[in-house]
Chain A
């Protein structure tokens, strides 16, 4: 028996960015869908809805020797409880507190079998306050991590900021995470279908998202800790060399690599090989034929801390077939 997996959207963002506004919309708009919302800071809003679940944001270390394997223990319990409901949910939205690291939430979906059986991580959506993001990025590494992990950044309160400042905020977001889709909103008024049900973590979606690379990247005015690097190769890669190099990278530098994604052309494999990872955890598999109209090529992206000094470029280059 194959039960369908309920998509789970992780909603991050600093306090005051507008997460609650978005959650209120999800709970009250007439969208004809059944969404359960797992919250942490909802108390004062007092929304009475039986689909709102209080969570304690308990981060547990797994006892499996992997130092990177922290998971949200409360989430495992809550998701397994929600899966016992008589009615099928269309989606689950998990709000994290403003200062939370999104990694344990994402890792929960890689590590826990029951969670992975019945639910799937849909996307990490980060709500950012256009007015204050610049300052927050400088002061709190959590703000940077939330941008780095995001599949979608809702750049909110754009009505309160001048256009040129908005451009510079966007540039800064891009520098941390060229992969995220940025949606400008005034009061989190983005269409819900652009926020929920994106399937951003499914491997075939990795193929669809083209990174929005910066034309020039010489703006060192802000010394952001978290940046991204990407490499392209027209030469096919050697599967074994790549496995051994990439495995070692994740093992030794996985704590500093927040997210990794790639589409690879392996020598001897007809299909495209697609992978994506969160810290040390990686999910990858062949994903069908290459498009006929484009030449085959491999491309990988790493988002993380101190990413330029990991020798990633040299390592990647060395995976090319001789």
Chain B
């Protein structure tokens, strides 16, 4: 029998989480920073996290974290070249934060927001409204690439030769040729947000305003419509050697195979890490294992191999707030999970010795 202090257990019973607290959570360090986590990126052995109050926090293995007040507004987007962190915000600033936490303004757009950033070795770019501004190494002034509508997403290919810019009506592929950018268009009705190249550079995929992905095979501009999601796709990651494009937007991680001549054309995706009712909001690759982390709307995180016959591992229980960032340090020793209520979980990925690999 309970004594008078029954309100909390009762409450817990009513909102019983689908996944209980895990061993990883118990050994993790937990923070609440009071502002939503807007994104996270891996910078070598550290992880940078952007917040809704303009702060960027860098978590380092064995050191803890440092806080940099970068923006006056929301950190809307961030990217890294492996050394510096590039951020854009609704305060109109495009900033570079170096490893010693020095903040440098690259450009300011006044009252216009900086919506997207993309970085690759030797080049960095941001977008504000319909314009993408691209800086190349040794170049003081950026190249300004114009589009007919607001830019929804930007990505360089692995070599930094091409920049994909998503917008209303499709994607513009810009190719650097002797200090000039030449464009070609990929057309598909509707608004296109986040965009990425496949690792081999043969495909471009966007997350659309609708609950769908759209892809193009660049060789012949062949269309790939990947639809049927119950919610918007907000996060994707390339995983494994096949490779698979793993996406959020369903109550499990949807993994599209991009091997062979036609990629996912006419093929069904592999669906792993099922949650009963929750929609995945964030996915991240665990590259060495050909496995994927899937974070859900209720705060739970599962880790699953891309194999429907394998059981997923519960990394984090249902804490109630949608996952907005999952990152791993490059040595894979640490994992960071952030949510839209400003909670950050920072933990070693493996319990005990790394080679034991029990989570």
Instruction: Count residues on chain B whose CB falls below 8 Å from chain A CBs.
Output: 40
B209–A73 CB distance below 8 A = yes
Q: List residues of A (39-59) whose CB comes within 8 Å of B's CBs.
A: 50, 52-54, 56, 58
Which residues from B are CB-within-8-Å of A76? 209
Contact (A63, B150) CB under 8 Å given A84-B36, A84-B38: no
B191–A60 CB distance below 8 A = yes
B76–A73 CB distance below 8 A = no
0 or 1 for each of A72-102: is its CB under 8 Å from B? (1 = yes) = 0110111001101110000000000000000
Instruction: Count residues on chain A whose CB falls below 8 Å from chain B CBs.
Output: 26
B209–A62 CB distance below 8 A = yes
Q: List residues of B (55-82) whose CB comes within 8 Å of A's CBs.
A: 72-74, 76
Provide the main secondary structure of the chain B interface: loop
A1–B111 CB distance below 8 A = no
Which residues from B are CB-within-8-Å of A85? 35, 52-53, 73-74
Which residues from A are CB-within-8-Å of B209? 60, 62-63, 71, 73, 76, 112
B168–A73 CB distance below 8 A = yes
Contact (A86, B208) CB under 8 Å given A1-B321, A61-B190: no
| A/B pair count, beta carbons within 8 Å | 80
For residue B332, CB closer than 8 A to chain A, the reply is no
B128 to chain A, nearest CB (A): 10
A244 to chain B, nearest CB (A): 27
Provide the main secondary structure of the chain A interface: mixed
B126 to chain A, nearest CB (A): 15
A35 to chain B, nearest CB (A): 16
Q: List residues of A (85-127) whose CB comes within 8 Å of B's CBs.
A: 85-86, 112-114
B76–A84 CB distance below 8 A = yes
Which residues from A are CB-within-8-Å of B189? 61, 63
A64–B210 CB distance below 8 A = yes
A73–B191 CB distance below 8 A = yes
Contact (A60, B320) CB under 8 Å given A50-B72, A81-B76, A86-B35: no
Which residues of A are interface residues toward B (Cβ below 8 A)?
1, 50, 52-54, 56, 58, 60-64, 71, 73-74, 76-78, 81-82, 84-86, 112-114
Which residues of B are interface residues toward A (Cβ below 8 A)?
34-36, 38, 51-53, 72-74, 76, 90-91, 111-113, 115, 129-130, 149-150, 152, 168, 188-191, 208-210, 212, 231-232, 298, 320-322, 340-342
